[in-house]
Structure 1
């Protein structure tokens, strides 16, 4: 994340503040709800999107979305007591809701080697009740970690303002253009790996994904039972009727969701999901230890009757979503995927670009952001060969 600006320390709002603005911040369960009181003079707040591998692994999203608060802002200890701290670096401590896992706040030292240096706080933008006219988005940083540009290629401008695109720290080196990819990016055709490694930031949760097979398209029919030895005579549905697959059943579906539940569970503006049959998620690379909702540092939160969200209890990473009415399928937080070809893992996943899942949830609070992503998705798809075979609907647990 870019370093906070250095200003004179204050313990409360400046006396000269011409009025106050109260920003309400919430998590999904409500345990860590709080208010951020600022001077109107300090609005809009500058917003940033960090794509570094560490932020993606810590959130489960394709990037971290935050705003920096003025130096006088200090959250109450009673609020912090409802959250779990995670030492992200020697300069940054992240705080997430202990109950639902939502990323909420970050405490940032100006100098990680000096514990007495200036302290400022970041707020995860997905927790804010409203960001329209509150957040002035600056751009993307640490794109070099994505290898392929990642989520930044879905969001290139907002309200006509071109977002900056920095390969490393914000403002360092030359910016990279949309469509950029790293020279160190692995050739997926030359390296057709049959397993994808996934991990959270602290490595308390690690698992593997396997490539689509003939059985993948029949997951609803056969899971958890084993299919017949020979399933070659099975009549598969047309590709566009298999909601979680793409490209003639050779790839799984990936999609973006802006529903209130996903946003408040992660604390991130947009949550990105990969949809896979349950049997294709294993705890070991050999594929012998099947998926379980209880391994490593996983913690489960029932967000609504029959719907479960899983996060790492140590670093707060969003990990899985599942529902009792479709146990054959799991939603995997895309930011955890470790693909040598790039953070979009395009040889494994076909991205739904025709729409943003549950966009109507987010329009009232973030209209410009939502419209910008929809425009970016269309432009990204138009720049690629072949059509977007868009079946399916929703995200965040509702295909």
Structure 2
């Protein structure tokens, strides 16, 4: 009699836990290779630098834990795409997509990171994100050098901003489906000269907004990826500005904690805004919907720093990845002459 196949059960949940499921993996298939996908479809449907995805073995599917079910997910299909993406209808967390097999987000699992469950292995479609910033920022995790694929046939999205469009006066922000779309202006003189606004415009960089890269649990579980990027922009520098409860186009709001409101596109799932009661006039705009022609990190518009708040979350969840990211950001900041700031307000 053949020995039974050894398996391991992994549990995943989004931030609101309306989406809650197990997957049962043959141990012979572990660790699962995780790829960081930089294609515009992934960036514009998640609102993030990239996605953290792993192909599940054939026949392995989410086993929903009641009362959670597929009905708690919203599907989104790109007009020229073959796979169907799914995100939580309540908090917007992207869990992955399904074609012939499931391609799942590795960031929403509570797996013990000391076990060989996931292996971050490569950057794919890096050329789809102009200048490939994150692939350069994260060349390795631990001792493992990540492979980088620059495939020119990567999926593109409608409305990709060109270098000449908008000149340098405004920065377009738009989700994949176009349901949420607005322009960001550069800091205005009267805003810069008000001492109360010193947190939002970096010293010596008066044409740019402050940006942070975050690894906190809340951001991970509403985005479905290991890291989030935000630039801080006052609502009066957005056109059109969001309305009450962050209403803008097809956006939907979600209260992730007391005094904190987030929004995502209710049609394609992209994270859009973060808002808190301490600074209602300044919103965090998710980096993945920015259409800066110079690259996904919008370096002519933003000055970046690794956020201090949330680092312990990142170290607890995946210490090796978080260490590599912090080192990569510090190195990138130094080489690119980006100003550094001590106060992080997210």
Q: 1:193 aligns with which of 168, 172, 181?
A: 168
1:140-289, aligned counterparts within 5 Å?
A: 140-168=123-151, 186=163, 192-217=167-192, 236=195, 242-248=198-204, 249-283=206-240
Q: Find the aligned partners of 1:321 and 1:359 in 2 and give their Cα distance.
A: 18
Q: What does residue range 1-399 of structure 1 map to in structure 2 within 5 Å?
A: 18-76=5-63, 79-88=69-78, 89-108=80-99, 119-130=100-111, 132=113, 133-168=116-151, 186=163, 192-217=167-192, 236=195, 242-248=198-204, 249-283=206-240, 290-292=241-243, 293-353=246-306, 357-385=309-337, 388-393=339-344, 398-399=345-346
Query: Do the aligned residues in 2 keep the contact of 1:247 with 1:350 (CA within 8 Å)?
Result: no
Secondary structure of the structure 1 residue equivalent to 2:267: coil
Mapped partners of 1:272, 1:168: distance in 2: 24
| Shift in Å, 1:106 | 1.0
Q: Distance in 1 between matches of 2:27 and 2:229?
A: 33
For 2:81 and 2:330, the matched residues in 1 are separated by 40
Runs (4+) off by over 6 Å: none
The alignment's C-alpha RMSD in Å is: 2.4
Q: Deviations over 1:210-235 (max 9, x none)?
A: 011223336xxxxxxxxxxxxxxx6x
- Unaligned ranges ≥5, structure 1: 1-14, 109-118, 173-183, 219-233, 284-289
Alignment match, 1:178: none
Q: Is the 8 A contact 1:253 1:349 kept in 2?
A: yes
TM-score (norm 2): 0.88
TM value normalised by structure 1: 0.77
Q: Secondary structure at the match of 1:129?
A: coil
Q: 1:186 to 1:21 in 2, by over 3 A?
A: same
- State the Cα distance separating 1:356 from its structure 2 match: 5.4
Cα deviation code 1:220-252 (max 9, x no counterpart): xxxxxxxxxxxxxx6x37xxx922222423311
Residues 84-136 of structure 1: per-residue CA shift (max 9 Å, x gap): 1111354210111011110013102xxxxxxxxxx210111221113733211
- Give unpaired runs (5+ residues) of structure 2: 155-160
Over residues 182-216 of structure 1, what are the superposed CA-to-partner deviations in whole Å (9 max), with x where a residue is unaligned? xx98499xx85211111111111111100112233
Q: In the aligned structure 2, how far is the partner of 1:216 from the partner of 1:264?
A: 33
Change (3 A) 1:42 1:16: farther
1:291 CA drift (Å): 2.7
Residue 303 of structure 1 deviates from its aligned partner by 1.0
